[in-house]
Structure 1
Amino acid sequence: MIYEIAEITIQPTTNKAFEAAVAQAVPLFQRARGCVSMRIDRTIERPDVYRLVIGWQTLEDHTVHFRGSDDFQAWRALVGGFFAAPPVVEHTETVVMGFV
């Protein structure tokens, strides 16, 4: 499994509205090809910074299939207006699983 980790910095004081928009977008990810999990975490030390963590079966499920979809455009329409800067996106794979 591949994890997409996107660091998203939003405009100050828009947390509640941003979080509501992300919640509204959950079905977009649920129906995306190869998407197996999705969550968003808020950084405690920097409350306007979030990390979106999405599990994908393959890298292409994210970079080709989702990014090329109408649902990606809908996702960006829901949340893009909150961004203070473009998200920083990386992909990771687990190399050591200590415990769950």
Structure 2
Amino acid sequence: MIYEVAELYIKPDAHQAFQAAVTQAIPVFKAAKGCISMRLDRDIEVPDTYHLVVGWETLDNHVVDFRGSEGFVTWRGLVGGYFAQPPKVEHFNTVVNGF
């Protein structure tokens, strides 16, 4: 399993609407091939910054299957208007399971 971590920079006056749009997008992620989990975290020190953390079975499930799907178009249509700048997206493997 890999984790997509998308750092999202949201317009200062759009937090409630953005969070509502992400809530609307939950079924899009649930239906996506290989999607295992999804959550949205908000930065406490920099409140205009969020992390979308999505668990995928494989990297291709995200970068090929999801990004090439209608689900991705729906996702970006729901949230894209709230971005203050383009998202920064990286992928991670767990190398140490703590507790």
Runs of 5+ unmatched residues, structure 1? none
More strand by percentage: 2
Query: What is the TM-score with the length of structure 1 in the denominator?
Result: 0.98
**How many correspondences in the alignment?**
99
Q: Deviations over 1:57-97 (max 9, x none)?
A: 00000000000000100000000000000000000000011
Deviating 4+ runs (over 4 angstroms): none
Question: How many angstroms does 1:13 deviate by?
Answer: 1.6
Q: Deviations over 1:1-50 (max 9, x none)?
A: 10000000011121000000000000000000000000000000011100
- 2:5 is matched with which residue? 5
Q: Superposition RMSD on alpha carbons, in Å?
A: 0.4
C-alpha separation between the residues in 1 aligned to 2:33 and 2:14? 30
C-alpha separation between the residues in 1 aligned to 2:45 and 2:14? 16
- Identity of aligned pairs, percent? 62
C-alpha separation between the residues in 2 aligned to 1:88 and 1:65? 19
- 1:32 is matched with which residue? 32
